[in-house]
Structure 1
Amino acid sequence: MKPCCPGNPLDRYASRREFLYVGLLGGLGMTLPGFLQQALGAQKDYPLREGVAKGIIHIFLPGGIAHQESFDPKPFAPAEYRGPFGAIDTKLKGVQFGQHMKDLAQIADKFTVIRSMSHGEAAHERGTHNMFTGYRPSPAVEYPSIGSIISHEMGPQNNLPPYVCVPSVPNEFANSGFLSSAYGPFALGSDPAQGNFQVRDLSLPKGVTDERFARRRSLLETVDHHFRTLEKSDALDSMDAFYQHAYKLISSQQAREAFNLAAEPDALKDEYGRTQAGQRMLLARRLIEGGVRFVSLTAGGWDHHDNLKAGIEKELPPVDKALATLIRDLERRGMLDSTLVVVTSEFGRTPKVNPTGGRDHWPRVFSVMMAGGGVNQGYVHGASDALGGEPEQDMVTVSDLATTMYNQIGITADKELMSPGNRPIEICDGGKVLDSILAKKA
């Protein structure tokens, strides 16, 4: 290719390939063409309902947090079932949490706890698949994640990706499944808990000024006009639309600002905690506030087969502090009613403490927390039995939980999507909306 303009050597050559390296999405969990196709908007079979929630924050505790040490303690069980910790009173009369959930105990009147979640998958991968997709794993179908479904059905707003993972895509089941990769997550590429946090490749590459960027855009428009004149190609018109959306995201100060954690005051960062959990949850709130539809983040590691006591003492206090602050922060900003916060794990832990002082995998019953987004405040749904081994009342399935999440954001869960084999598959099969956990309309 011949030089196109004088000056900096970096400006002398331009091609379509060059415009794919403007520094937007490389290495962020999805390709630029994929994001651009997504940005044009998903095809919808029928209009979305108006959801109570405008956005969802999904906080996943990988490894399987022990429900006995968190939301469902068993203080009157024998010691080998009760575990190494006591229980503390909450804001709700007669409801107790594990002793390391002091901050959440003080605002238990702000959220719902489900103590009767259940599924049959005791392996990490299969349990994680359940919680991210609402489906049991199948060798025949690669199901899309809840975030990808929301991306597909709702599309972007405010020039922001609809689905963001903090700090990275946590597992293979957080992806788009049988949907196009266009609906996969936008991953940050770095952890907001790091002092030098910035979203990799969101801004223009080093050495590319706004003036140079505009000049490249002008050049692209000239080249595209030439190709259109010669080829009269509909595909080129479509490609032009993709590029327009790329430029909007790169050049939008509003979009960049949503990721600017440095703009948050130090006092608020301290309130969340200068921890992995704290800074990830703070960024999640900022992204939802900016217009992201679904933020998925992980916090801690909870696979405590050995020395459960030390593991809980290390992992739970910072999550307790951060989560309580997130709920208070959303409420202060008037965002709690329109933001659904969901805290899950792939399963719970065995009722009995094992010989090495840990608890093993236990999917038969475990706990989930939900706040905001039209969910009841100060409510406990369902119950496990006296030893924390089985659902005793109002069992909740994975598909029930996913259906309720979709319902709150305005998606009908039994809508059918077409898989690559031209087979209709419901967004979520067999679940019911958990009406009893939803706030009653005035």
Structure 2
Amino acid sequence: MSRAREFSQSIHGGHLTRRDWLFGGTGLGGAAIGMRGLSAGQPVSSPGTVLGRAKSVIVMFLGGGPPQHETWDPKPQASEEVRGAFGTIASKTPGLFVGELMPRTAQLTDKIAVLRAMVTNDNAHSSSGYQMMTGVPHIPLNAESAISKPPNLAPHWGAMAKYVDQQFGALPQAVTLPNRIANMGVIPWPGQTAGVLGPQYDPWLLTCDPSQADFKIPDLALPKEISGRRLEKRLALLKQVNRRAGRVADSSAVSRLNRQTKQAIGLLNRSKSGSVFDLSQESDATRDRYGRTRWAQSVLLARRLVEAGVSLVQINWARVDKEPNGGSWDTHDKHNDLLKRYLMPWMDQAYSALLTDLSDRGLLDETLVLWVGEFGHTPKFNARAGRDHWGHCFSIALAGGGVQGGVVHGESDDRAAYPVSGRVEPRDLMATVFHCLGYSPDTELHDTTGRPLRISRGRVIEQIL
């Protein structure tokens, strides 16, 4: 392999040795400059294709799996062991009935497209979640407590959004909050990082509790021993060093580092970024509308983040202490009790508040909102009055960002167990999300070795656009 090729690969992966620096600064920096195009996705579309114009995505990820029967696909004619204990209510969409525990959401279905036949064919939290967040099936399927390792290193949708959006501002382009998803709280699911794209594209994980009265981000402040004046001196010195760095300073790796440095400085300056995280700027009425729980206030924070220019925010369901399975949607026991007592009311309140808030602010048309989990639940109750994992057919919902509201795509059988029509997969969802953001599924990204990969091998779900 030529030295130029070695240098190109090293800068693409974001790793520069001292020898690379010397090499890049002695006349072959052009090789590095020539690789710059590999660090940005190039939109590719068929003639006549009209891509979306959404600017941001908010992913509401209901970890544990929201049940299709009690939400978007009730089966009132089925036996009680299938339909469950709850009834249905009419929605704003003629002919669409939803579960009775989501009355606020029912009045907003004219803004929502429902997919009733999503399929992962995977009944494990970890591996089915990986597929939902990457659009790539885990190898093998049904792998519980799987971790991030080859061959399962497909990038998270936030990482891909970060890759294609090269406009580095004061805030990261992709944020995950208020916690990482992990089995038993300690085994992180795969699919939550940039994977093969490299760690520079990892979404920013913000572990926080915005519901706390003293909520703040500790890392957005200078250490006590460093004054603002001292920071200014350090930045001046950095500027002098950069001017003397020569051609290597034009390499993609160094350019990327410079952007990240500027972003970090912007965060420390707290001018724009600090105010984004200051929920005290919201009225009590607005905060109450979302709900005062950790998860609900994270939803409100997500709205503020996209309003400030973040491309993709994923809000993971927050742990609820002293509740079964950490208070998640994994309702193997006491399914009806948990849904009625807090799962559905909290979701219904925050989800409806977000859609209404975005609409009132004129942001819904440019913000795509996903309502998803890793799978659904079994058609029948188990012996413990719960529902188990089910990835063979479940429901998700999309709103805003170019999605046509008042639409139901797909149909399940009489038990909401298997698709009858309109079957879609996570790869199709991924294709649709990036279509709404203005990128064809064929858009090429490049991994840390320079190999191309497509955003998705799925198809855009035209029926909801």
TM range, smaller chain: 0.7 to 0.9
- Partner residue in 2 for 1:14: none
Q: Which of residues 44, 59, 72 in structure 1 aligns to 2:40?
A: 44
Could you tell me which of 295, 301, 308 is aligned with 2:335?
308
- Kindly state the Cα deviation for residue 220 of structure 1 after the two structures are TM-superposed: 3.8
Alignment of 1:31-430 (within 5 A): 43-44=39-40, 46=42, 51-138=52-139, 139-170=150-181, 171-221=189-239, 228=244, 234-235=248-249, 238=254, 241-242=258-259, 243-251=261-269, 253-299=271-317, 301-313=328-340, 314-420=342-448, 423-429=451-457
Q: SS where residue 258 of structure 2 aligns? A: helix
Cα gap change, 1:416/1:344 in structure 2, threshold over 3 Å: closer, same or farther? same
What is the CA distance between 1:287 and its match in structure 2?
A: 0.2
| Alpha-carbon spacing, 1:298–1:244, altered in 2? closer, same or farther (3 Å) | closer
Contact 1:188/1:200, CA 8 A, preserved across alignment: no
Question: Per the alignment, in what secondary structure is the counterpart of residue 371 of structure 2?
Answer: strand
User: 1:281 Cα deviation (Å)?
Assistant: 0.8
Cα separation, 1, equivalents of 2:38 and 2:287 = 36
- Provide closer, same or farther for how the CA distance between residues 235 and 110 of structure 1 changes in structure 2, counting only shifts above 3 A: closer
Amino acid at match of 1:234: V
Deviations 1:111-154 (A, max 9, x none): 11111111211111111001100110145351001110010111
Post-superposition shift, 1:156? Answer: 4.0
Distance 1:167 1:354, change over 3 A: same
Matching residue's letter, 1:133: T
Letter paired with 1:124? H
Identify if the C-alpha distance between structure 1 residues 232 and 351 changes in structure 2 by more than 3 Å, giving closer, same or farther. Answer: closer
Taking only the aligned residue pairs, the percentage that are identical comes to 37
Aligned-CA RMSD value? 2.3
* CA distance in structure 2 between the partners assigned to 1:295 and 1:42 by the alignment: 25
Question: Normalised by the size of structure 1, how large is the TM-score?
Answer: 0.83
Q: Using a 3 Å threshold, how does the CA distance of structure 1 residues 258 and 77 change in structure 2: closer, same or farther?
A: same
Deviation at 1:191, TM superposition (A): 1.8
Amino acid across the alignment from 2:232: A
Q: Structure 1's 233 and 334: CA in aligned 2 closer, same or farther, altered over 3 A?
A: closer
Residues 396, 52 of structure 1: CA spacing in aligned structure 2 closer, same or farther, 3 A cutoff?
Answer: same
1:206 Cα deviation from its structure 2 partner: 2.9
CA contact (8 A) 1:159 1:252 kept: no
Structure 2, unaligned stretches of length 5 or more?
1-35, 46-50, 140-149, 182-188, 319-327
Closer/same/farther in 2, CA of residues 152 and 207 from structure 1, 3 Å limit: same
Give the TM-score taking structure 2 as reference length: 0.79
How many residues in Structure 1 have an aligned counterpart in Structure 2? 394
Residues 188-197 or 116-125, more deviating: 188-197
